[in-house]
Amino acid sequence: MDRFDTMRLFTRVVERRSFTAAAADLGLPRSSATAAIKQLEKRLGVQLFRRTTRHVTPTPDGEAYYQRCIGILADIE
């Protein structure tokens, strides 16, 4: 998954508040979506989401990254 695909996935997870729903929207297995976000968090060195059994919510770092991503994606699409 390239960086833009990962940004699209990340923004979809924020918007849907669910890895499962975001993965389904993008035609990905949930495990691939989860692994991609974990890899992104490792690369950035921050936790992007608070995870519960029912949903995920962005951390303050996640919200800041979301704002950057939607701007970048709007510029390239």
7-20 per-position pLDDT tens digit: 999 999 999 999 99
Residue 53 predicted with pLDDT over 90: no
72, 7 Cβ separation under 8 angstroms: yes
| pLDDT for the residue 31 | 95
Separation CA 61–CA 27 (nearest Å): 26
Mean pLDDT, all residues of the chain: 95
Q: What DSSP assignment string belongs to 41-76? A: HHHHTS--EEE-SS-EEE-HHHHHHHHHHHHHHHHH
Q: What percent of the chain has pLDDT over 90?
A: 90
Better pLDDT: 54 or 69: 69
Instruction: Please name the fold of domain 3-76.
Output: Arc Repressor Mutant, subunit A (1.10.10)
pTM, full prediction: 0.93
Better pLDDT: 64 or 77: 64
